Chains A and B, each alone.
Chain A
C-alpha cells in the first residue's frame, strides 16, 4: 500500500511539475490575444519577461516563483494593451486596418479557390448543374466561404486544426496570401471563370489567350487590379516596425 501511494504522489508531482517553457508559451499566447500589441511590442515584452525571470533565478528563486513574479511585474496583458494604445492611438488603427485588409483578402482568396473547387466538382460530377452555377453568380461558393468564416470566428476548428499559427506568424500568413493572390490574379477574371466552368477551358489559357489581344483589355486589367489592389494595400499597411525588425533579423 505504501509503495502504491508513493507512486500516486510521484505521478501527481509529475503532472503538476512546472515547465518554464510552457508557462512562457502560454503567456505569449495570452499576449497575442491583445489586438493593440504589435508583433514587435510582444517580442520586446517577452525579452523583458525573460530578463526578469533570469534575474529572479539568479537571486535564488526557482523557475515557477521567478515566472510568476516576472509576470506580475511586466503587467496584465489587457492592461498592457490599453497602455500601448494610449501611447500611440494611430498605431492601433493601423493595426486594425491591417487586420481588416487581411481578412478581406483571405475571404476573397477563399471565395476564388472554393468557386473553382465547387466548379470542378460540378464539372465532373453533375455537368447539368454547371450552367446554373455560373448563372447564379457563384453564390453557392460564397455561402461555403461564409460558413467557413463563421466557423473560424467562433473557433470551431481552432483546437482540432491547430490554426493558431495564423496568429503566431503574421509575416508568414501575409507572404502566403500575397503569393496566392498574385498567382490567382494571373488566371482569374470573370470571363476566364465562366469559360472554364461552361466550356472546360483551363482558366489560365483562357485569360492569357483572350485578354491581351482581345477587345476588352480594360476589362482584363480591372479584373486583375481587383485582386492586386488590396494586396498592395495590405503590404503598405504591414506595420513599419515589423518591417524594420525583419530586415535586421
Chain B
C-alpha cells in the first residue's frame, strides 16, 4: 500500500487547488468521483485521504472559485455536485502559469544536471 513516490504534505496541499480547479473546469463533479479521478491521473501517486478533500472543496467554495449544488444522480442517489465559477477559471489561469513556470525551470535545471535513476 505504501508508496515511496507519494507527495509530501506541503506539496499535496499546494497542488490540490490547481488539480481541483482543473478537474472541475472539465465539468461538474462530486467528491467521490474527484478522488477517483485524481488517483487515476496520478497512477496512485497522489493519494488524497477521502475525508480531507471536503474541507479543501469547501474552502474553494468559500473563496468563490467553485459552487455547489445537491442534485440527484441518474442512480437516484443525491450527491453534492461542485462546479467551477468564472472567478475559478481566472484563478486556474494564474495557477497554471505559476505551476508551468516552476515546472519549466526544473526541467531546464534537470536537463543540465540529470538525476541518476
**Interface secondary structure of B, over-half rule:** helix
Q: Are A87 and B59 in contact (CB under 8 A)?
A: yes
Whole-angstrom distance between the Cβ of A46 and the nearest chain B Cβ: 10
In the bound complex, do residue B77 and residue A75 qualify as a contact, i.e. CB atoms below 8 Å apart?
no
Residues of B within 8 A of A248 (CB): 69-70
Q: How far is the CA of A96 from the CA of B52 in the complex (A)?
A: 22
The A-B contact count (CB < 8 A) is 58
Query: By the criterion CB–CB under 8 Å, are A44 and B50 in contact?
Result: no
* Residues on the B chain within 8 Å of A245, using CB: 70
State the CA gap A45–B49 with chains docked (Å): 12
When the two chains form the complex, which single residue of B54, B56, B79 contacts A41, counting CB atoms closer than 8 Å? B54
Q: Is the CB of A83 within 8 A of B51?
A: yes
B50: which A residues are within 8 A, CB to CB?
A: 48, 52, 73-75
- The yes or no answer to A80 lying at the interface (CB within 8 A) is yes
How many residues of chain B have a CB within 8 Å of chain A? 19
Q: Are B80 and A87 in contact (CB under 8 A)?
A: no
Please tell me the size bucket of the interface on A.
20 to 34
Report A's interface with B, CB cutoff 8 A: 40-41, 43-45, 47-48, 50-52, 55, 73-75, 79-80, 83-84, 86-88, 245, 248-249
The 7 closest A-B CB pairs, nearest first, are A87-B55, A75-B51, A51-B32, A80-B51, A44-B80, A87-B59, A73-B50
14 additional contacts, CB 8 Å, given A88-B55, A245-B70?
A: A41-B58, A44-B31, A44-B54, A47-B32, A47-B79, A73-B49, A73-B50, A74-B51, A75-B50, A75-B52, A84-B58, A87-B56, A88-B58, A88-B62
